[in-house]
Amino acid sequence: MGVRRRVVVDAAALLILQLCCCCIIALARAAAATMPSATDIVGDVGERQQQEVGAKYRDPRQPLNARVDDLLRRMTLAEKIGQMSQIDRENATAGVISKYFIGSVLRGGGRVPAAGAPPEAWVEMVEEIQRAAVSSTRLGIPVMFGIDAVHGHGYVYKATVFPHNVGLGCTRDPELARKIGAAVALEVRATGIPFIFAPCLAVCRDPRWGRCYESFSEHPELVQNMTSIVSGFQGEIPATGRLGTPYVAGQRNVAACAKHYVGDGGTTRGINENNTVATFHDLLGIHMRPYYTAAIRGVSTIMVSYSSWNGVKMHANRFLITDFLKTRLRFRGFVLSDWLGLDRITSPEHADYLLSIKLGILAGIDMVMIPYRYTEFIDDLTLLVQNGTIPLSRIDDAVRRILRVKFTMGLFDNPYADTSLVGELGKQEHRDLAREAVRKSLVLLKNGKPGAKPLLPLPKKPSYGRSVLVAGSHGDDLGSQCGGWTITWQGQTGNNLTAGTTILDGIKRAVVPGTDVVYSENPDAGFVQQNKARFDYAIVVVGEPPYAETHGDNLNLTIPAPGPDVIRNVCGSIRCVVVLVSGRPLVVEPFIDAMDALVAAWLPGTEGQGVSDVLFGDYGFTGKLSRTWFRSVDQLPMNVGDAHYDPLFPFGFGLETQPSTY
């Protein structure tokens, strides 16, 4: 872990401070107990809102800055701190929103309106929260509802799930990324949600990191190029617009969030939330570059990383957040903490929350993701402002940025969903786009043994009287194809989580009707030996189980069992192509001689037919590695340009094939 700075405080002074804090908080709570109930407050809201009818901030004809200034000067400290608070939708009741003036709500992992909920149910959930903000608070400031959408609107049943970023990077196609961003925005808006926590702009320098599949590449320039997805999410800034300021085109687009600022892909040994050791020059040249481009494209928000830079927690790094991002890069959106990000400034977590809030807010964090302990955050931040620890000017800067984004999104003028968009969720046009992305993301690493003809593309009609064998745990598993951040945070295996096409489904549709396709998840050596004359060729589909973040950190990167045995048993006796479904390169050198062909399929998402499209030659292989494929984990970290560069397959490698003419 990173070096941690110790704050030494005189014991007596600390005791006095704690007693003072306790007294102030107790007095505040006692005062709150004598306040009118939420029902009484709501009863007065209509009258108070009437007083604001002629206010500039309510007039869409007014310039943006005039609206922001007008609203900000009307706000109390409680209303400002409420805008800085982002809570979990589980706690976002009408009473909580009206009492604490909550500015943002997020959908945390696993919490949905109901299992398999249609888009209409999501719309109603979001609008119930929005009605509380717009109708039950004095100023009627709308809530900004956010959700993770790292490879499509993955938490929603029947949404289109696109390949994860590691695969998209292999397409080398910024225009495709932009189209995907626009499609995802429509599917998110179909559920009434205007804000997403995407894209991840990490430059993953070590595949042992559990988030490496969320990174487009190890190369900063390629990640920069793929920030075109921001323009897809938010819309292209018009020619008359101003580059570098937050921009959202309208209700068919969403506010995006570039994450995780900065250096999260460079931690020691790829351990999640660990320390990134780098000079400032290297930080700028490798990890910061995608943020320059995202800011120019008008990204609305930036999320801070859990990781540290040279021992300093990013959530407490004033130099990088305020001095560099806000001042030098002139970022005009707002900065968001990660989930319980302030709590993790101290070790153990939440050990000194007052200190954490002080460090995080003074560092420049504008909105704080506090899913559950929001009252503690609000009370403590109020105390820190009232006692002068945090100046009101810092609060005003944060709220100004939040309001600027909300006005830019059009939330004040159109706070509710456009219900005509519900049909956008999972529509065929988006699935076709995802299928195209799968085809272009596949990387052909081997095609034919020495002295033999290439195996790919496969014939759609096997030799007379023969069958096709499909083997491996990932051949018929939609959940494994999609990976993490799908329906649940960590993802899950199986075919019951959402709608889509497995790789096996795609193979059955690709071959000539009547072809016998045999599927065996884990065929043993005896089965293969007894039946090898029956099969013309085999398609072995193996890989990693779904995972996300820390759960995916892996120091050995071997193909999980029983994958190696399946490869040995099948490829030792039958001509085979191995399709590897994974979020990163894995150790394949021990098995590669036995394979006739090897395809890196990454995490293709719901449209498994994109894999069969290329295996059978309807389209050629075009993908190029966005990551170096190592020989052994002992070489890691190893990236293109390193002095000790000795990969199995180098960055940019990828064999090509032509479409079949049959």
Catalytic residue annotation: 338, 549
Output the furthest CA–CA distance in the chain (Å, rounded): 89
Taking the C-alpha atoms of residue 303 and residue 368, their distance in angstroms, rounded to an integer, is 10
483: left (phi > 0), else alpha (psi -120 to 50), else beta?
left
Query: Any residues with CB less than 8 A from the CB of 155 and at least 6 apart, and which?
Result: 107, 109, 112, 147, 148, 149, 485, 486, 487, 488
d(CA 110, CA 490): 9
CA distance 267 to 265: 6
**How would DSSP label each residue in 153-206?**
STTSTT--BPPPHHHHHHHT-HHHHHHHHHHHHHHHHTTT--EE---B--B---
Structure tokens at 393: 């000017």
The answer to whether the beta carbons of residues 187 and 153 sit under 8 Å apart is yes
Q: What are phi and psi of 150, to 5 degrees?
A: -80, -20
Per-residue burial over 534-569, b if 16 or more Cβ lie within 10 Å, else e, is: ebbbbbbbbbbbbbbbeebbbeebebeebbbebbbb
Nearest 5°: CA angle at 422, between 417 and 424?
120
3-state secondary structure of 118: coil
Q: How many residues does the structure list for the chain?
A: 662
Which residues face 150 on adjacent strands? 152
- What does the alpha-carbon distance between residue 232 and residue 244 come to, in Å, rounded to a whole number? 16
Interaxial angle between packed helices 353-363 and 392-409, expressed in degrees from 0 to 180 and rounded to the nearest 10: 60
- Written as one letter, the residue type at 298 is G
In sequence order, the 6+-apart residues with CB closer than 8 A to the CB of 149 are: 155, 184, 188, 196, 197, 198, 254
CA-to-CA distance for 577 and 579, rounded, in angstroms?
6
Distances (CA, A) of 58 to 97, 99, 407: 20, 22, 10
Strand partners, 308: 275, 313
Quote the CA–CA distance of 225 and 221 in Å, as a whole number.
6
Take residue 65 and report the two structure tokens written for it: 């800055």
Q: Does residue 457 contact residue 661 with C-beta atoms inside 8 Å?
A: no
Place of tokens 């397959």: 649
